[in-house]
């Protein structure tokens, strides 16, 4: 079965610092991988996705992620954090049914002034 593990349920960074949110996946087939963001009282919004094209994927709001098969990782990064980046971030992998996604537990990002 396809699954993801997000390391760290809470991450705190200073404004302007590097953001690194970790995600490792397990998949018996070539995975499709995703990062979603959820702001308070809202649904999930797609940040970026990997679907077997370029291993370095650029998304919205300055985020990017790199697919590393050897490490089974898909970590999310942003060079400089903004206050507006404070939110819950979810890593997801396409599930065994093909089109449903399996989500990690989420990482809450706090950005301090």
Chain residues that interact with another protein, rule: CB under 8 A: 32, 34, 36, 41-46, 49, 51, 90, 94-95, 97-106
- C-alpha span between 23 and 8 (Å, rounded): 9
Q: Which is nearer to another protein, 38 or 72 (CB)?
A: 38
Name the minimum Å distance from CB 32 to another protein. 4
Name the minimum Å distance from CB 43 to another protein. 4
Name the minimum Å distance from CB 91 to another protein. 10
Q: Which is nearer to another protein, 37 or 111 (CB)?
A: 37
Give me the DSSP letters along 44-65. EEEEEEESSS-SEEE-GGG-EE
Name the minimum Å distance from CB 40 to another protein. 11
Put the strands of the sheet holding 3-7 in their side by side order. Answer: 3-7, 19-26, 73-78, 64-68, 56-58
Q: Which helix (DSSP H) or strand (DSSP E) does residue 40 occupy?
A: none
Q: Which is nearer to another protein, 73 or 102 (CB)?
A: 102
In the structure encoding, which two tokens stand for residue 93, read together?
A: 């992998």
Q: Among all chains, which residue has been given the structure tokens 């702001």?
A: 39
């Amino acid at each position: 079965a396809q699954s993801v593990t997000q390391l760290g349920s809470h991450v705190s960074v200073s404004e302007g610092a590097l953001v690194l949110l970790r995600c490792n996946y397990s998949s018996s087939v070539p995975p499709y991988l995703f990062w979603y963001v959820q702001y308070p009282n809202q649904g999930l919004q797609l940040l970026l996705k990997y679907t077997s094209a370029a291993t370095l994927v650029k998304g919205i709001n300055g985020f990017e992620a790199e697919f590393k098969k050897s490490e089974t990782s898909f970590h999310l990064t942003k060079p400089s954090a903004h206050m507006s980046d404070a939110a819950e971030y979810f890593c997801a992998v396409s599930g065994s049914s093909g089109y449903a996604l399996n989500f990690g537990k989420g990482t809450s990002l706090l950005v301090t002034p």
